[in-house]
Amino acid sequence: MGRGFLFILLLIALPAAAQIYKYTDADGNTAYSNQPPDGVKAQPVELPPLNSVDTLSPGKPAPPAKAHEQPHSAYEVLELTGPPTTGALRANNGTFTVNVLIKPRLQGPHLFRLLLDEQPYGQPGNVPILQLENIDRGLHSLAVQVIKGETVIQQSPAVTFTVQRMHKP
């Protein structure tokens, strides 16, 4: 390991207010410590200020959102369940269903729109059970969007899976 890496580890491990000292050890190597060693000339190291994050306490209101920031997600959970993420989906005629897990439940004018291989599939609807028909065998990806008109409100992570079907002669 390089000395620079050890120095970084030392900085991470020490409390924010600790003083760091630089000195040369008995073998002639540059060393760092949070205490000056006895009988050795040590120099204090000036550290840049640490980054900090302002956390919200329960009674403290959130700061106002800036115009360029994305709004928070409308739904805490939005994901597809049903297609296997390991192994293959056996669908001899290429027809199967997937479920949408959403919390809180779908709101007023919002609809679900399925994306098969990143393209809209079927008609948007408000039922969290979506059917796919005659899907070719092979590798596919699925995601679900919550839309309002043509505006995408939120999109689930994509699920990749393989469809196995009987080969027709």
Which of 131 and 155 is assigned the larger pLDDT? 155
83/158 same-domain check: yes
Which tops the pLDDT comparison, 130 or 151? 151
For residue range 89-113, list pLDDT tens digits in order: 777 788 888 889 999 989 889 999 9
Q: What is the mean pLDDT of residues 133-156?
A: 91
Kindly state whether residues 136 and 90 are assigned to the same domain.
yes
> What's residue 154's pLDDT?
94
Per mean pLDDT, which range of 19-23, 34-38, 64-68, 103-107 is the poorest? 64-68
Of 153, 39, 136, which is closest to residue 144 (Cα–Cα)?
Answer: 153
Q: Are 143 and 155 in contact (CB under 8 A)?
A: yes
> Quick one: 16 and 90 in the same domain?
no
Distance (Å, whole) CA 96 – CA 163: 10
State which of 2-11, 126-135, 147-156 shows the largest mean pLDDT.
Answer: 147-156
Residue 71 placed within a domain = no
Cis peptide before 104 (omega within 30 of 0): yes
145/56 Cα distance (integer angstroms): 31
| pTM for the full predicted model | 0.54
| Number of structural domains found in the chain | 2
Tokens 């491990």 sit at which residue? 13
Residue 34 lies in a domain: yes
Domain containing residue 24: 3-45
| Residues 70, 71, 77: CA angle, nearest 5 degrees | 110
Residue at 128 is within a domain: yes
**Dist CA 133 CA 58 (whole Å):** 49
41-92 tens-digit pLDDT: 877 767 555 544 555 555 555 555 444 434 457 899 999 887 766 667 777 7
Domain assignment of residue 13, yes or no? yes
- Label residues 18-52 b or e (16+ Cβ within 10 Å = b): eebbeeeeeeeeebbbeeeeeeeebeeeeeeeeee
Single-letter amino acid code for the residue at 44: P
In contact, 142 and 115? CB cutoff 8 Å: yes
Mean pLDDT (whole number) for 132-157: 90
Say if CB 110 and CB 153 are below 8 A apart.
yes
